[in-house]
Every structure is written in structure tokens, then in C-alpha cells.
Amino acid sequence: MNKLLLHPLAKPVLWLALSAPLASLVWGAFQNTLGANPAEALIRALGDWTLRLLVLTLAITPVRHWTGWHALARFRRNVGVAAFLYATLHWLAYAWLDQGLSLAALWQDVVKRPFILVGTLAWLMLLPLAATSFNSAMKALGGRAWQRLHQLSYAIILLGLLHFFWMRAGKNDFAEVAVYAALVAVLLGWRLKRQRSR
């Protein structure tokens, strides 16, 4: 498996897979197949994929240790950048399709609805991680400072989960929330246990 993961085509294939959901949503928007409320469907789908990719990013290190597929490490940054891109599209779709890009309306909505505030905060916390996802930024910051900064990803995934929970609370639909919560608990619990053992 490590040989396959180190193949030169592995990253292009990964990016094709990461872009497939977005391509499907764009195609659905043009074909008018996103349902009765395409704007809401687009916003929510982009948010769902953001959370999935954040969980996948968090899972890469534990899976490496559990399986011995150490070459997975080379994909963590790509998946993290993809999560940021989906999060940005999610927020922009909300700002444009739901609030008409009105700063006043956006401010009022963020202040009024806690789940929007939490989601916006999580996206803002992703900005410095995306900005320092390049090798040059890593060298400029130094290894320890870079690692400390990127530990924000743990807070981001928790805020993203809270955002998702509050959004689904309005419809009393917690089944999918429970699945994500269980995954995040296992992944963060593994990290905590590993840190304590050190």
C-alpha cells in the first residue's frame, strides 16, 4: 500500500477525488437538480463536505499508526487545504445566496444566530492554517511554532461539530451528528492518550 501511496499519480488522483463532490454540486446547480431549494442544498452540501474533510484530515495520523501506511502523511496537507476550500465556498455560498453579500445582513445574522457565529469563527481560524500550509511558511515559522499553530485544527473540528449540531437541532435530527461526534471523540481520544504516554 505504501508503494501505491508514493506513486506519482497518487496526488492527482486524490485531487480528482476531492474535487468530485464540488463538480457534482456545480453540475447539479446548472442542471437544476438540487431540489426545491437549490441555494440551501448547495450551502448545506458544501458544509457537509467541509466537516467530512476535516474529520478525514484528523484521521490520517491515527490511520497511519494503526495500519503502517506511513506514506499517508504526504496527503494530510492536501486534504486540509481541500477542507479549507470547501469551508470557504460554504461560507461564500451562505453570504451570497442567503444574505445577498450584504455586510449589514451578515453581521446581524452572525450576531443573532449562534450556529452561524460558531461556523464563521471556525472558518476564520482556518485562514491562518491555510496561509501557512506551504513549505516556505513552515520554514519561516519554525517547526515547533508551525505545529502549535496547526493545533488549532482540534478546536476547529469541535467548532465545526457544534455548528453542525446546532443546525440539525432545529429539525431534531441528530443521527448524523452522533456519527461525526463518535469519530471525532475516537480520533481526539487517540491523540490525547498518545500524548499522555509520551
Domain ranges of the chain: 2-197
Residue 53 contacts residue 18 (beta carbons within 8 Å): yes
Predicted confidence (pLDDT) at residue 173 exceeds the cutoff of 90:
no
Total-model pTM: 0.93
Least reliable range by pLDDT among 18-22, 122-126, 168-172, 180-184: 168-172
pLDDT at position 168? 86
Confidence class of residue 197 from pLDDT cuts 50, 70 and 90? confident
Confidence class of residue 139 from pLDDT cuts 50, 70 and 90? confident
Of the candidates 188, 47, 187, the residue with the CA atom closest to the CA atom of residue 123: 47
Residue 131 contacts residue 137 (beta carbons within 8 Å): yes
Euclidean distance between CA atoms 193 and 82, whole angstroms: 28
The CA-atom distances, in angstroms, between 134 and each of 77, 80, 109, 130 are 9, 12, 34, 8
Predicted confidence (pLDDT) at residue 12 exceeds the cutoff of 90:
yes
Euclidean distance between CA atoms 12 and 5, whole angstroms: 11
69 dihedral zone (left: phi>0; alpha: psi -120 to 50; beta): beta
